[in-house]
Structure 1
Amino acid sequence: MKKHCEIIEDLLPLYVDQVTNTETKMFVTDHLTECERCRQIKAELLKNKSYAVNMMQPSPTEPSPYELAFVKHIQKSRRWSGASFILLIFLFSLICWFLV
């Protein structure tokens, strides 16, 4: 039975992630019905898997006041640069029109 346990221990991460084929899944399931130690290992893997999934999800955070101020500054700069560009083109057009 120890030999089967070693094989199952290697297969359990794949079994928990549900990426084994049908035959392997049945083999692991049959073994888990008989072996308490392997069931405990499976339970530990499931616990760790749920922890890892929770750790991968980003936690929602509020932007800091510095971030908000920076975004407002960038938006304001963009507005001014756009308006300046349009004014510059208008003035250039007027100068060209008067010179012709």
Structure 2
Amino acid sequence: HQDKEDDALIGVRSTALLFGRNTKAWLVLFYGLTLLGFVIALMSAGAGWPAWIGLLATLVLLGWQIAVLDIHDAPQCLSLFRFNHVVGAVLFAGLVLAIPFA
């Protein structure tokens, strides 16, 4: 949403413009499907408990992002977008720490 004014000005069909005020609902759907995919993958792989802890922490971080998101605050949107590297690092750390338990 941080670029939606620019997107509209130059005619880019961005998801920010497409989702509009329903952005949080779409994020819940996409984050939920992503987490479901990880649950299936971890179950299929017989992943150890550190991977599950990492996934739980990822769920908490994504939920926090949705809870605090203000789609009308462009600097906050950018900050939350950039924070996703932390979310990815937490998930990755859980997977790496689970290797000895595989």
**TM-score by structure 2 length?**
0.29
Tell me which structure has the larger Cα radius of gyration: 1
Bigger relative contact order, structure 1 or 2, given CA contacts below 8 A and separation 6+?
2
